[in-house]
Every structure is written in C-alpha cells, then in structure tokens.
Structure 1
Amino acid sequence: MYGNLEDTKKLIEVNYALRQKHPHLFIQRDPLDDDSRRTFDYADIIPLPGLTPEKYKVSLYRFRDFEPSKMHHTEDTRAFFMVADCRFITVDDPANDEVLSEGEVQIFDMKGTTMRHISRLTISTLRAYVKFLQLAFPVRLRAIHMVNCPTYLDRIISVVKPFISDEVYKLIRFHTTNIETLYDSVPREMLPEEYGGTAGSLDKLREQTQKILLDKRDYLMDPKQWVVEKTEKRNGQSSSWRIFK
C-alpha cells in the first residue's frame, strides 16, 4: 500500500472479510490432512528462494501428475493459500532478513494441462480465489508467467478470462515457444534445476516447503489468527464488510 495507512486498513479488512466468507478455503484447514496430502502429492506449490534484482518474490505452480481426476479444485486452492500464508511470516530474503520484497511474480507451468482439468474447476472457488488475489492479497502482483503453454491455450483462457480484471490480465506473459524467454524476468539462480536454474532440484525445494508447512501448522490452524468478530458499526459508520454478504 506504499505507506498509505487508510489503504492498508482497507486491505486488512477486505482480507479478513473474505476469509470469514470462505472459511473452507482460509480457516478450516490442516496441511497434514488427506485433502492437503492429495494436493501436494500430485501438484507443486513452491515459493522459490531469494529475490529478483527488482526485489520480487517468485512462486512456481505445476502438475506432477497429469491425470485430471487427481485435481480437486477447492482443496487445491486451500493448499495454495496455506503456502501463501506461511510465506507472509517468513523472511523474504534469507541472505538479508531486513529486506522486504517489492512484489510477487508467479510462474504457472501449463505442461500436462488439458480441457479435462479446466472442466474440474469449481466456479465459486475460482471466483473467491480471483477476488482475493485482486482485492485482498497483501503483495504487489508484478507478473504471471505461463510456460509450456499448450496449443489450445486460447480455449483455456476463454474459460478463466471473465473472472480476471483487465489490470491483472495485462500482467500475464505467455511463453509459447520455449522457456528461454523466462530468464529475462527470473534469474536462473532462483529457478529449479529442472527449469535450467541453479536453485536446487524440485525435490529439495518441495521438501523445504513441506517443512515450513509442518513448522507453521499450529499457526495455520489456530482460529485466533484468522477468525474475527463481525461488527456492524466501525467508527460510527456501517461496516464495509457488509458488501461481502
């Protein structure tokens, strides 16, 4: 929020209002339950180490198992937010714990994605995810990179584009030929070996992410961290939370 106090207060209110509205995505969760294990067994949700030269954080999302029946959109989205919430309470740059990131870059590996996967999207979950990302995510989203794009990418985009604001859609970069173009935005030293980088193997990075989830399990599941009382009045005015009813 660039130091703007009122904008910061609004962001926090919207963040917690959306959490209360969708407790099955943000509150009722456990990184060790069967749903979470199933997600992490077939997909990777991995924060990558370090920061870009612009001080951006980078995260990677990909399928490890391409079987569409493994996808459970709501449970997968809940796992995504658990990883994100853990990241917000860890240092942005382990090499310099006083540095704060200036934004977030997301990489979506589309390898193995089919229209059968898209058919398993839950519209209510997609709507909640996009609303949170656009209105309540406490980062500055700088870019979304789509790599290993299939030939039918336009059909996939036609499904999800109605839920995405023009501002966010302009941040999407499609890498349709090869992954080399990704290196212009994300340094190789931040990328896994499997993507031509030097940050270690996906197995190693996956293990590190799971360790953090385990270490922060009590935090993620503690209702005192996430459940707030809904007040009808705030400073003599109707609560802005009413818009989420």
Structure 2
Amino acid sequence: MSGAGGKETSTATGEQTANGGGTAADTRLKSNLGELLTWFQANDKLPQEIEPLLLRRFYQCMYGDVEETKKLIEVNYALRNKHPHLFIQRDPQDDDSRRTFEYADILPLPGLTPEKYKVSLYCFRDFDPYKMHHTEDTRAFFMVTDCRFVTPDDPNDPDVLSEGEVQIFDMKGTTMRHISRLTISTLRAYIKFLQLAFPVRLRAIHMVNCPTYLDRIVSVVKPFISDEVFKLIRFHTVSMDSLYEFVPRQMLPEEYGGGAGSLADLRTQTQKTLLDHRDYLMNPKHWLVEKTEKRNGGSWRFFK
C-alpha cells in the first residue's frame, strides 16, 4: 500500500502540469480532500480528527486515488490502535523520551532532494548499548515522524509535499550487544507500519559507517524485514562519498561533511518541534479509535 516505492500513475500534479498550473487540478484536489475529510469524520474505524496536511500526505502517497487513500488511512489507524504503547500512549517530555533523545538523534533534515525526497538521519550520541531501550526508542521515532508529517516540507512553499522518504541510519558504535537488545515484537510492528501504513512512500534506506561484522548484524535482523523493504537498503561500507551520490551533500549535517548546520542545532530544532506539537501528539482525538457506543454518545443505552 504505502512504503516501498509504489506504482506511478497520473495524479492531480500531472493534470496541473498539463494545464500549466490551471484550476482543474486545484478543483479536483479540493473536491477529493473534502470527500476524504467527510468520510474520515463519519468513519467509526477512525479517530475524530485529522490534520489537513496529514490528510494530503495520505492522498499524495496513493497518487491521488481516493479509494486507495481510504484503505491506507484505515490500515494506518488500525495498526496504531493495535500498538497503543508505540503510537498513542506517549509524551515527548516524559522520562523514556528524555532518555532516548539523550543518547540518540532522530533528525528530519531541512530541505528536499532534487527528486523532492525528505531525508531523515538516525544516529547514536552515546554508544553504551545498555542505554538502548528499543520499544521506547521506537515510540520516540514515531513521535518525531508524526510531527514532521504535519509540518511543511518547505517553509517557503507550504503547498510543496515530498515525493518520498529517505532514511539514513548511522551504524557507528553499533555492536552485537545493541542488536541483542532489539525487541522482536517492536521490530515487527515497526517494519509492518513502515511498509503498509506510512503516509509517505519509502524510497531508500542508507546504512552508513557499517562495521566489519555487518553480515552478522544483517543475519539477525533480515528475517524480520520484508523483501520489499530490504531491497531499498544500501550499505555504505567504505566512506561517506558513496552516500553523496544519493543525498546532496549540502543537506547533511556538518559532522557528515554537509552544510545543513550542526547536529546540535538540528537537535534543538527537532526538540522545539516536539514541544510545540506535544498537545497534538497526546490528544486522543487524533489517534484513538473509540468503540462505537462511546463515539455515538449515549444512544447505545436504549438497546440495553
């Protein structure tokens, strides 16, 4: 559905190009998003509210196909509610989140690639494996991505949406002790959500600073990664130069030879975004699917 690649079809964007930016595409977009919002609000399988920008991302991810967008949205919230400890019961300022952000960076990088892809970087700040708590760290990852999905990709042009997602995982400092601390149920939930429910198309996963024992790490985690997702992974074993072939150097942090500012500055911006969106992240109206009798108020009591 979402996730890896996806078929290319004609979309509102294509119409807009054909019409030289005319109103036909705008009208279609507005009409389809209006239809999706009405459907969303009346659907007992979904929460009460959705941010307009997030709804647009779902729609774009499915290349402007309304029915496929509906399927993706339902899968997204079904998985969220199946794993509430990862997606609903959360607070970016609680102790678990603080511990994650103290030892690791989860950073959306500014700008878009020439292909209009959004890039995110994940790396350790502290290499102590006993500071890794996989489930709590995964919850923090989804908090950062949920904030990003309601934040414009290009502040100078809020109407521009990314055409895909590129993830960079820095394996510097990774040991087999880190791998042994993975929680299999969390890893499965993460991969399933990434492949089936992400509101953006996953284009590539780059693993940089790979250790010499990479084959051992891959042998442990590969059984839990779908073939579709695994095909998107590129392992950079020699230097950062091979990464620059896929991600513009100026988009990367200074510590990676880029021009996007320091890790510290990017970290500060990410934490500010989390704080600004704390109420949104913790508001059940945006995430929790209530039982039908609760959603319909007291009407169910007539049938007792």
TM-score (norm 1): 0.93
1:189 counterpart residue number: 250
Summarize the alignment of residues 171-182 of structure 1 with structure 2, pairs less than 5 Å apart: 171-182=232-243
2:115 is aligned with 1:54? yes
2:125 counterpart residue number: 64
- CA distance in 2: counterparts of 1:65 and 1:182, whole angstroms: 23
2:148 is aligned with 1:87? yes
- CA distance in 1: counterparts of 2:184 and 2:164, whole angstroms: 27
Which of 127, 143, 156 is residue 188 of structure 2 equivalent to? Answer: 127
2:174 counterpart residue number: 113
Which of 185, 188, 204 is residue 265 of structure 2 equivalent to? Answer: 204
Paired residue type of 1:55: K
Describe the superposition over 1:186-217 as per-residue Cα deviations: whole angstroms up to 9, x where unpaired: 11111000000000000000000000000000
2:68 counterpart residue number: 7
SS at 2:228 equivalent: helix
2:209 counterpart residue number: 148
Describe the superposition over 1:66-120 as per-residue Cα deviations: whole angstroms up to 9, x where unpaired: 0000000000000000000000000011232221110000000000000000000
Which of 133, 139, 152 is residue 78 of structure 1 equivalent to? Answer: 139
1:217 counterpart residue number: 278
Describe the superposition over 1:21-57 as per-residue Cα deviations: whole angstroms up to 9, x where unpaired: 1100000000000000000000000000000000000
- Which consecutive unaligned segments of at least 5 residues does structure 1 have? 232-245
SS at 1:77 equivalent: helix
- CA distance in 2: counterparts of 1:94 and 1:189, whole angstroms: 17
- CA distance in 2: counterparts of 1:93 and 1:171, whole angstroms: 25
1:228 counterpart residue number: 289
Paired residue type of 2:247: V
- CA distance in 1: counterparts of 2:160 and 2:84, whole angstroms: 32
1:239 counterpart residue number: none
TM-score (norm 2): 0.75
Q: Deviation at 1:230? A: 4.9
- CA distance in 2: counterparts of 1:88 and 1:135, whole angstroms: 16
Q: What is the aligned residue count?
A: 232
SS at 2:203 equivalent: strand
- CA distance in 2: counterparts of 1:152 and 1:4, whole angstroms: 44
Paired residue type of 1:13: E
Paired residue type of 1:16: Y
Identity of aligned residues (%): 84
- CA distance in 1: counterparts of 2:217 and 2:226, whole angstroms: 16
- CA distance in 2: counterparts of 1:215 and 1:175, whole angstroms: 35
Q: Deviation at 1:179? A: 0.4
- CA distance in 2: counterparts of 1:143 and 1:93, whole angstroms: 20
The Cα RMSD (Å) is 1.1
SS at 1:107 equivalent: strand
2:5 counterpart residue number: none
